[in-house]
Chain A
Amino acid sequence: MTALLPRRGLAQILALIVILAVDRVVSPQFFDLRLQDGRLFGSLIDVLNRGTPVALLSLGMVLVIATRGIDLSVGAVMAICGAIAASLADSHGLPVVLAAALGAGLLCGLWNGFLVAVLGMQPIVATLILMVAGRGIAQLITEGRIVTFSSPDLVWLGNGSVLGLPVPVVIALGMLILTGAVVRGSALGLLIEATGGNARASELAGVGTRAMILSVYVWCGVCAALAGVIAAADIMGADANNAGLWLELDAILAVVIGGTSLFGGRFSLVLAVLGALIIQTMNTGILLSGYPPEFNLLVKAVVVLAVLLLQSPKFSGLAGIAARLRRTKA
């Protein structure tokens, strides 16, 4: 565990604890948990469950960002893959549905990766193309409707539970472990960090930087596809218009809160997922607080700034100086 969770995770854990405490204040029953129909039930579970899509997105996004890229299309990819899954769900078995949806995500990632790694487009515009067109494709699949389904297998993916935990949470956990195993178990992690840290130097050291870049976008696409399937399964329908809308910003935010620099290089999967949880803890807190919705964005802005402040090297520097001053005075 210590290998997965470096020392620098302290600020994030602290932030999470503070926000949890605030949530407890605005909603006294926040930590209540009970077992119902064989699954855990309570706000904490909601945080995990609702945080799953962004957590999955951030797993892919963190790798993309580590290579100095960015993927704005993940929300649209979610919509596409959710739409595909929903339209196939009632006529095909789960394996086919999953294969089709994840395959589509993979293709989307391949396309982004192709634009960035092969054509050399700037990631933000390259993925902007799919962000715009992708939602169109998703709507094309559903023809703008909400395509509902009742296939119990797929519904289970969204609403079932394993050992009391919602299935999406288990999937996200599995993906975290899988991604961690692939990235840190092979040399991929090192090579991605090198590519993001200095692509020219890595290329000269014999690293296949193009392949690295291509593969992270592909993985990002697959993660987004999974998130899309789960989001569709959750509401038993594919809402191409709204699925994943603006989630790319949340995913990027999660990655940055997780301490990965937007200029590439070092990354941490666990902290990115923690970032997603921090965001969701805040969101759930807002919903529980009972404040009028006009305040939502303001609260979000303030919390984001506060969390970043906590992490800012300058801030900890200031805090350190303050501490030293206090000590010398004492």
Chain B
Amino acid sequence: GQLTIGFSQIGSESGWRAAETSVSKQEAAKRQVNLKIADAQQKQENQIKAIRSFIAQNVDAIFLAPVVSTGWDSVLKEAKEAKIPVVLLDRDIDPSGKELYLTAVTSDSVHEGAVAGDWLAKTVGEKACNIVELQGTVGASVAANRKKGFDTAVAKHPNLKVVRSQTGDFTRAKGKEVMESFIKAEGGGKNICAVYAHNDDMMVGAIQAMKEAGLKPGKEILTVSIDAVPDIFKAMAAGEANATVELTPNMAGPALDAIAAFKDKGTVPPKWIQTESKLYTAADDPQKIYDSKKGLGY
């Protein structure tokens, strides 16, 4: 019969997350799966509650986009006892729980940071470059990982230096505000050679700040950020942004396929289905990508 799958989604804290939710729905509809989405409003306790209630409803499988990497052992054990397979989406959990889930469909956020860092190093070449960094929310694992990956990549090049790093909470408004003060603190922006933002939303804000300060982002100041949301392509098309690393919103598709195979034929998927962290630059026809992404619910 028709599969019923419970999806414990983090919330809708960003456009990317909204897109992930809507793509998941589309993918489920495509496969005629009944997808029950519980929105946790960014709280782990709500996710645990949601999983418990999925178990109480005896769903066929549970998708979990964990808000944090730890703390899932006991609830996932309950799911295992109830013989409900669990698939992690978008983020991994702590290694101690490996046997508790079927597979994880995620990207590697350390790798994302590294891709961004490598691109920057390659683009800058040998000349000295002061980088300012817009971090994600303090304490968020994605932020820490994207920082780590970027730092590692940049550390290989002594000419690259992160001179300022402050949190922009993953939002446009904060990204703009923080960038404004970076510009003031770095001699009106003259000392800044590149901006690295943990997500595109902050970068869009930062681009505005640079423009208002009379700087030319994309030309005088390089930009690289992560997520590949439509608006960054718009900026790229206008020559105001340089690069973004894609985090695909379609995590549910591969997950649904894995579950279907598992249920039908008992095929055990690999433990990690890694999504691609693709780099986009102005060379990739940003306008076209923008048009194709616009309808995805970002």
Chain A residues packing against B (C-beta within 8 Å): 27, 29-30, 32, 36-37, 41-43, 46, 50, 139, 143-146, 148, 159, 231, 234-237, 239, 241-243, 284, 287-288, 290, 292-294, 296
Contacts and interface: CB of A to CB of B under 8 A. Distances in A.
Contact of A145 (B180, B184, B297): B297
B192 to A, nearest CB: 13
B178 A145 contact: no
Interface in B134-189: 135, 138, 164-167, 169-174, 176-178, 180-182, 184-185, 187
A143 to B, nearest CB: 7
A41 B135 contact: no
Question: Which of A42, A46, A145 has the most C-beta atoms of chain B within 10 angstroms of its own C-beta?
Answer: A145
B171 A239 contact: yes
Contacts of A243: 173
Contacts of A237: 172, 204, 231
A15 to B, nearest CB: 21
B212 interface: yes
B298 A145 contact: yes
A32 to B, nearest CB: 8
6 contacts: A36-B213, A145-B297, A146-B15, A237-B172, A241-B13, A242-B13
Nearest to A36: B214
Contact of B297 (A27, A144, A234, A239): A144
B184 A46 contact: yes
Given A42-B184, A287-B166, A296 B12 contact: no
B208 interface: yes
Contacts of B117: none
B231 A43 contact: no
Contacts of B12: 139, 144, 241
Contacts of B8: none
Interface in B191-227: 201, 204-205, 208, 212-214
Contact of A288 (B18, B173, B185, B298): B185
B13 A234 contact: no
A146 B231 contact: yes
B185 A234 contact: no
10 closest residue pairs by CB, A with B: A144-B18, A293-B167, A287-B181, A242-B171, A144-B12, A235-B172, A146-B15, A43-B184, A288-B181, A145-B15
